[in-house]
Structure formats: structure tokens, C-alpha cells
A and B are shown apart, each in its own frame.
Chain A
Amino acid sequence: MSRQSLLFVALKFVERDILFKKLIATLTILAIASGVATFISLRILSVGSRTAAQSIVEQVLPGEVVVYGQGLYDVSEDVLNEIKRIPGVKDVTPAILVTGYIGRNAVFVLGVRPEDIKNVVSKVVNGSVFNTLAGPYAIADVGLAKKLDLKVGDKVTVKPPYGSFFRQYEIIGIAEVTMKIEEIGAAGGYIILPLREAQTLLGRPGYVSMAVVKVEEGVDPVAVKNLISVIYPGSRVMMREEVIGVVFKVMSLIEGLLLSTTLVGLAVAVFGTTSTITSTVREHQREIAIMRTQGASRRSVATIFIMEALIYGLTGGLLGLVFGVLGAQVGIGIVASYGFLNPPLILEPLTLLLGVTLATLLSVVSSLYPIWRATSIRPVEVLKSE
């Protein structure tokens, strides 16, 4: 049988089959589409979040090497001054990043020097930023301001993570904070304090939680990292890429969890297709036998039903692609509304292609067994029941 004839026979059969049972066909296509949509939207969200996180880390860490202490905030500023004197080190930026509370709301407390504010704030929405190392001033993150209804001039009481000590600060600015590498921990938002104020609040004057080391042009950052590790064995020294790697590891874990949800969706799609094709094949068992008596080969009969599965898979896949992109947009909106991340909508052709291909492939693969069964039956067995 020529390819053209086979295509004619198969397409006519499938077209009528879909037209004659619109509801089942629609439900099957929707089942496949939902699986693909879940896969595509989660992939788009993941890619967007990774990109956003990477760009944040790169913005926030204006250097190649990051120094942490063993505890939460035990990197001495004296040590930092000594690091600054190491050959090849251009600059050292100290910062405090811990969780604290405003009332009962968990927040990230970020302590920075006035000259480093540009590294943690992308845009001042209202008011201004502080220009001293100390003083009862604070800058609230846009998300936090919205959540707690904070305005410039309001006073907030900030508590450290431990103890009953607290201090009051005046909100002098509301800004978009870019330093959001720890947002996976999901506190309610950011409050930025002058570095000394943060140290006082934590009761650790002269100590910070991290320092970012920028190296001179042409100097190997790995060499600087190794040198710092040797000189200060009590510290944890990481490359910026390692920090990004840690962030990505956490994100990968979350992606893994999300993808397992996607697998459930895909499994539903596969079962849906298998069930539809199985019932279609059973329903047409007699007609398959008739076709065989008329000279249809097993290959021709199989082609008809594979074509049906292919059409379900392809239609479901393309529909899932559209739903997936729309779903991703909604997801991005939801993530952005938390004020932590603003993932861009990145449409990777590979992801989209993979979604549609996966749906088509799974539909075809899941249909193979029922089709094989149907074409194995000898026509005489079916027609005997006449």
C-alpha cells in the first residue's frame, strides 16, 4: 500500500473517529495538554528563576570571592582589613544578612555600608537612602512596605533572631532590593540598616556575616581564595560561582520536587491516551477484522491507530504549549507578587519542543500495546461471533 493511500485511509478514519466522539477526544486532548502545560510552565518558571537568581547574585556580590565565618555573624572587620592588604585584592565589602522580626513578621535584616547600598538596591521608589554608617534609619523593601503598609517617616521596631532586645528605626526610603539570594528561606521581606546599626542590633559590634572580595584585574580569584583560606583557616571562603552553585542546588531541589508533580501530570496524560486508544481499538475490533479481510496488513491497521494517537499527542502538545506559556506568565506574576524574585519570561525553544515531542512520543508509545494486541487478533476470531 502506498504512503499516499495509507495516509488517506488513516486520516479519514481518524477524522471521523474524532468527530464521532467529540467529548472523549476533547477530554483526551485536554489531559495531554494539562500534562504538557504543567511541564512547560514549570520549566519556564525554573529557567526564569535561575536567570533572575544568577543576575541577583552577580549584582549583589560585587566581587569574585565571598568570605563567611563559622557562625552566623562572626567575620571580624579586623580580618577584613587584613584581607584588604593581601596582594591582588582590590576591595572588600562587608555585609550583615540575618533573619529578624518586625512585630511578628519574619524579615531579612540587611546591614550595609552607605557606599555599598548601590549593590543591594536597584531603585528607590520613595524617600532616600542613608549616607552614614550609623543612625536610626532604615530602608524598607517594596514587598515589605506593601505587606506591612509602611510609609516614609513611619517607625518600625526590629528584633534580632534571638533574645528580647529590639531597636526602633525610622523608614527613610522604600526601595526595590536586589540582594535576594536567600529568598528561598522565604522571610517576609527586607529591611536595610546602616552596617553599625545592624551590628548593634545583633550585639556584635565589629563583626559581619559575610564579606565580598573583589580581586584586581588579571589576578586569579582562585589563588586569592586559597590564600584567604590558608591565612584564616576558621573562615569559609567561597567563589562567587560556588555561591551561585549553592543557590542553584537549592533551586534544583525545588525544581526536582516540582518536576515530580509534572510527572504525575504526564502520567495522567499517558493513562488518558492509553485508555482512549484502548477503548477506540476495542470499539473498532470488528472493523479491524473487516479491514484485515479486505486485505489490510497489520502495518496498515497499526498506522491508522498510531496516527490517531499522534494526532491526540500533537494537538494536546500544541495546546499544552499555549497553556504552558500562559500558565508560566501567571506563575511569574505570582512569584513577582511576593517581592523576592522577578523572573523573566524566557521561552527556550528546546523546552517547548521537548514538551510537544514528549506528549506526542508518549501518546504514540502508550498506544503501541493496545494496537499491537488489536492487530494480533486473527480476523476469523472476531468474525466468528457473527
Chain B
Amino acid sequence: MSEYALELRDIRKVYKTATEEIEVLKGITLKIREGELATIMGPSGSGKSTLLSIAGGLDKPTSGRVIVGGVDITDMNEEELTRVRARKIGFVFQSFNLIRNYTALENVMLPLLFTGIFNVKEAKEIAIRALEVVGLKNHANKFPNQLSGGQQQRVAIARALAPNPDIILMDEPTGSLDVDTAARVLSLVKWLNDAFGQTIIIVTHNPEIAELSTRTYYIRAGAIYEEPPKRTLTEIVKEIKSSGSSGDIKKIQLEMLKLKLEALERALKEDRIDPTLIEAEVNSLEHRINKLEKAL
């Protein structure tokens, strides 16, 4: 399997208006390794959100290739992209974007059900674990409007995490939070990256977030520049770990990954998913399971 969770090759994005063409991204090449916490920084209008949309299959590049978890998604149609998004990509947005008609638990269950490989019971089981990971198991049956901003963002993180995607894309995840709450959410993000080995890409203009990342990229006027990896906050992060030991969390993650692998194999047998997509996904999962088993 590919060692990269995300590969962007020479991505260009041009927006056409009636009078002019605006080149927002000018041939961006980016490779994010598995388990990295990468930050893409840049001022407003620099194209960072466009880049994130393209990486997440929400938008199409004008040219270039997008490869997520070893699968080239560039030429996929909308429905194929939808299926890929369900299993391989998690999103966390600035304004949480929880669905108000669903409880916290149901919000987390949604992407699991949309994958088409989990039944309601399995989805519920995994969603409860994901909420446990973000420390919100006791709020599972609350609706978004009954939760604080920080809690809502943690639910959104649990939702992104639950299907064990290859990458989680975060667009200004602390943009709507106060300083303290933002710090808690960021500590959770960093801890998930450390403990779960979850690949996370954060788009932000907040330099403090960049301090947490393993790699930081700067985007300006549609071009990307890499800074050396930063590891200065490692010790700080160790101090702000959530409850539960790393071993327990790894066990939970291992169980979640095994559940996903079983469900995938079952879905393949029942011919519910495209076999061409599944190979890379199964390899990726087995790789992650092996890694975790070794760590335990």
C-alpha cells in the first residue's frame, strides 16, 4: 500500500468568471505520510480551503491528480466520490456542522451508515466508542443545541474519526471557539494523532495550531511552501492527554479497525461495494491493525 495518506500532484485550480480567469492554486504538489498531523497555513483568500475541498473530493482540480489512501479519486464521478468520502475521508469544519435533527450519537453514526458496510447496531457500537474517545459518552443522546461549542466540535471530531478514515481534514477547527475551549479541542486533535496514528490535515491561519503539527505548509498566492517539521510542543501535548491510558485507547482503536475490516469483508462478499476500491482499503486497514498490534 501507499505510504502516503494523501498525495496531491501538480494541482491547479482555475475559477472562470465572465471577464477573467483566476488561478487559485498554481501546481501544488503535496504528500502527507500516514500518521502525520499536517497544518496548511495561509492568509484569507490564499486558496487553502480550496485545496482542502479538492483533497476531500468536494471539488475538482482543473488539472493534477488527487490520491487518497492509495486510490486516485481525480476522475471519479460524484457518486463514486461520495462512496470514497464515506470510508476514506473525515471532515471537521469551523462551525461544527452537526445535523440538528440528530443526537450526538446519531450524528456520529451517520458516516458509518453512509459507508454501506455497517448495520445500525454496529454503527451505534462504534459511535459510542468514538464518543467515549472524545470524552462525550454521557452526552450521546443530546441534540447539538444542548451542547456547548467545544462539545459540538468534539462530536464533529468523533464523527470524522468513527469510520477510521485514511485522513481527517479540518478547516479552521477552532475558529468558532474561545481560547480555552480551542486549547482543549486542539489537545484532543493532537492526542488522536499521537495515540491513534490518525492522519490529520488542518487548514488554519492560526500559528499556534501549527506548533502542534508534525509538518507545516504555507500557502501563498496559490503556491505551497514547506517548513521543517516542528516537534517543540511534544512535551506540552503529553501533559494535556485526555483520560484513559494510551494502551486502552489503542485497544479501542484496534477493536474499531477490526470491526471495520470485518464489515468491509462482509460487504465485499455480499457485493455491496466496488471491489476495485476495496483492495487498497483492506490493505490500509491491515497495515494499521498490524501497526497497532505491534504497539500493544
Q: Give A residues with C-beta under 8 Å from B.
A: 1-2, 4-6, 8-9, 12-13, 16-17, 20, 284, 286-287, 290-298, 300, 378-380, 383-384, 386
B94 interface residue per 8 A CB criterion: yes
Q: Show 21 A/B contacts (Cβ-Cβ < 8 Å), sorted by A.
A: A1-B116, A2-B272, A5-B119, A6-B113, A9-B110, A13-B99, A16-B100, A16-B101, A20-B100, A286-B97, A290-B99, A292-B82, A293-B56, A295-B87, A296-B114, A297-B82, A298-B79, A378-B59, A383-B53, A383-B97, A384-B49
B102 interface residue per 8 A CB criterion: yes
B212 vs chain A, min Cβ distance (A):
22
Inter-chain contacts of A378 with B (CB < 8 A): 58-59, 78
In the complex, A316 Cα to B101 Cα: how many Å? 23
B159 interface residue per 8 A CB criterion: yes
- Asked if A287 contacts B99 (CB within 8 A), the reply is yes
Q: Which residue in A17, A297, A300 is a CB contact (below 8 Å) of B101?
A: A17
In the complex, A189 Cα to B119 Cα: how many Å? 71
In the complex, A60 Cα to B120 Cα: how many Å? 68
Q: Which residue in A1, A12, A16, A380 is a CB contact (below 8 Å) of B114?
A: A1
Instruction: List 4 tightest A-B contacts by C-beta distance, closest first.
Output: A295-B86, A295-B114, A16-B101, A5-B113
Q: Which residue in A286, A292, A380 is a CB contact (below 8 Å) of B59?
A: A380
- Asked if A2 contacts B116 (CB within 8 A), the reply is yes
Q: Which residue in A4, A12, A295, A386 is a CB contact (below 8 Å) of B102?
A: A12
In the complex, A344 Cα to B107 Cα: how many Å? 55
What per-residue 1/0 map shows which CB atoms of B66-87 lie under 8 Å from chain A? 0000000000001100110111
A282 vs chain B, min Cβ distance (A):
15
In the complex, A33 Cα to B95 Cα: how many Å? 40
- Asked if A293 contacts B85 (CB within 8 A), the reply is yes
Inter-chain contacts of A286 with B (CB < 8 A): 97
**Count of chain B residues near A, Cβ 8 A:** 37
A117 vs chain B, min Cβ distance (A):
71
- Asked if A291 contacts B85 (CB within 8 A), the reply is no
Inter-chain contacts of A294 with B (CB < 8 A): 85-86, 91, 110-111, 114, 159
For A8, A16, A293, the residue with the greatest tally of chain B CB atoms inside 10 Å of its CB is A293
Q: Which partner residue on chain A sits nearest B102 by CB separation?
A: A12
In the complex, A166 Cα to B32 Cα: how many Å? 109
A278 vs chain B, min Cβ distance (A):
18
Q: Which partner residue on chain A sits nearest B106 by CB separation?
A: A12
What per-residue 1/0 map shows which CB atoms of B174-191 lie under 8 Å from chain A? 000000000000000000
B156 vs chain A, min Cβ distance (A):
10
Inter-chain contacts of A290 with B (CB < 8 A): 93, 97-99
Classify the secondary structure of A's interface with B: helix
What per-residue 1/0 map shows which CB atoms of B149-186 lie under 8 Å from chain A? 00000000001000100000001000000000000000
Q: Which partner residue on chain B sits nearest A6 by CB separation?
A: B113
B216 interface residue per 8 A CB criterion: no
Q: Which partner residue on chain B sits nearest A289 by CB separation?
A: B97
For B59, B95, B114, the residue with the greatest tally of chain A CB atoms inside 10 Å of its CB is B114
In the complex, A297 Cα to B99 Cα: how many Å? 16
Q: Which partner residue on chain B sits nearest A8 by CB separation?
A: B120
Inter-chain contacts of B106 with A (CB < 8 A): 12
Inter-chain contacts of B78 with A (CB < 8 A): 298, 378
Q: Which partner residue on chain A sits nearest B110 by CB separation?
A: A294
- Asked if A383 contacts B58 (CB within 8 A), the reply is yes
For A12, A290, A378, the residue with the greatest tally of chain B CB atoms inside 10 Å of its CB is A290
B55 vs chain A, min Cβ distance (A):
12
B123 interface residue per 8 A CB criterion: yes
- Asked if B82 contacts A296 (CB within 8 A), the reply is yes
Q: Which residue in B53, B91, B101, B119 is a CB contact (below 8 Å) of A287?
A: B101
In the complex, A169 Cα to B93 Cα: how many Å? 93
Q: Which partner residue on chain B sits nearest A376 by CB separation?
A: B78
B213 interface residue per 8 A CB criterion: no
- Asked if B113 contacts A8 (CB within 8 A), the reply is yes
B285 vs chain A, min Cβ distance (A):
17
Inter-chain contacts of A379 with B (CB < 8 A): 58
Q: Which partner residue on chain A sits nearest B95 by CB separation?
A: A386
B115 interface residue per 8 A CB criterion: yes
Q: From known contacts A13-B102, A287-B99, infer whether A293 and B91 are also in contact, taking CB-CB under 8 Å.
A: yes
A335 vs chain B, min Cβ distance (A):
47
In the complex, A17 Cα to B101 Cα: how many Å? 7
Q: From known contacts A2-B116, A287-B101, A294-B110, infer whether A383 and B82 are also in contact, taking CB-CB under 8 Å.
A: no
B213 vs chain A, min Cβ distance (A):
22
In the complex, A297 Cα to B56 Cα: how many Å? 15
Q: Which partner residue on chain A sits nearest B97 by CB separation?
A: A290
- Asked if B120 contacts A5 (CB within 8 A), the reply is yes
Q: Which partner residue on chain A sits nearest B118 by CB separation?
A: A5
A201 vs chain B, min Cβ distance (A):
76
Inter-chain contacts of B95 with A (CB < 8 A): 386
- Asked if A2 contacts B119 (CB within 8 A), the reply is yes
- Asked if A386 contacts B93 (CB within 8 A), the reply is yes
- Asked if B123 contacts A5 (CB within 8 A), the reply is yes
For A2, A5, A9, the residue with the greatest tally of chain B CB atoms inside 10 Å of its CB is A5
Q: From known contacts A287-B101, A380-B59, infer whether A9 and B113 are also in contact, taking CB-CB under 8 Å.
A: yes
In the complex, A345 Cα to B54 Cα: how many Å? 65
Inter-chain contacts of B118 with A (CB < 8 A): 5
In the complex, A16 Cα to B115 Cα: how many Å? 23
Inter-chain contacts of B94 with A (CB < 8 A): 386
In the complex, A294 Cα to B102 Cα: how many Å? 14
In the complex, A2 Cα to B270 Cα: how many Å? 11
Residues of B110-145 at the interface with A, using a CB-CB cut-off of 8 Å, are 110-111, 113-116, 118-120, 123
Q: From known contacts A380-B53, A383-B58, infer whether A295 and B120 are also in contact, taking CB-CB under 8 Å.
A: no
Inter-chain contacts of A386 with B (CB < 8 A): 93-95, 171
A24 vs chain B, min Cβ distance (A):
15
Q: Which partner residue on chain A sits nearest B159 by CB separation?
A: A294
In the complex, A295 Cα to B112 Cα: how many Å? 9
Q: From known contacts A2-B116, A8-B120, infer whether A295 and B111 are also in contact, taking CB-CB under 8 Å.
A: yes
Q: Which residue in B97, B100, B114, B159 is a CB contact (below 8 Å) of A300?
A: B114
A279 vs chain B, min Cβ distance (A):
15
- Asked if A12 contacts B83 (CB within 8 A), the reply is no
A259 vs chain B, min Cβ distance (A):
39
A153 vs chain B, min Cβ distance (A):
75
